[in-house]
């Protein structure tokens, strides 16, 4: 399995444009049905705009289950993990409506 380190992508974590770049990086793994480790080592807090344009777009396009199966967060602190879980929970509720 491949590992993508967010910091190595030279993107911020606050804008839609930043999120779009992560989306573009992760999408080929979904298309090829491959799992990827996503490293949050030394990253700053992420904005909702970043989430919407990266994780949100992937979830909307491929579904929540595929997202959880294909993106494995590593080197992540508790607050970042809690935020991702909250975001995924919100998307899960949205899919059920």
Q: Write out the DSSP string of the chain.
A: -EEEEGGGGT--SSSHHHHHHHHHHHHHHHHTT--EEEE-TTPPPPPHHHHIIIIIHHHHHH-HHHHHHHEEEES--HHHHHHHHHHHHHHHHHHH-
pLDDT score of 2 more than 70: yes
Instruction: Say if residue 39's pLDDT is above 70.
Output: yes
pLDDT of 96 strictly over 90:
no
């Amino acid at each position: 399995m491949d590992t993508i380190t967010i910091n190595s992508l030279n993107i911020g974590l606050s804008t839609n444009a930043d999120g779009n770049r992560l989306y573009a990086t992760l999408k080929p793994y979904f298309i090829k049905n491959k799992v990827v480790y996503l490293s949050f080592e030394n990253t700053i807090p992420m904005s909702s705009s970043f989430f919407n344009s990266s994780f949100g777009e992937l979830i909307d396009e491929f579904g929540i289950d595929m997202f959880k199966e294909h993106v494995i967060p590593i080197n992540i602190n508790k607050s970042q993990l809690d935020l991702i879980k909250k975001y995924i929970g919100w998307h899960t509720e949205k899919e059920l409506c």
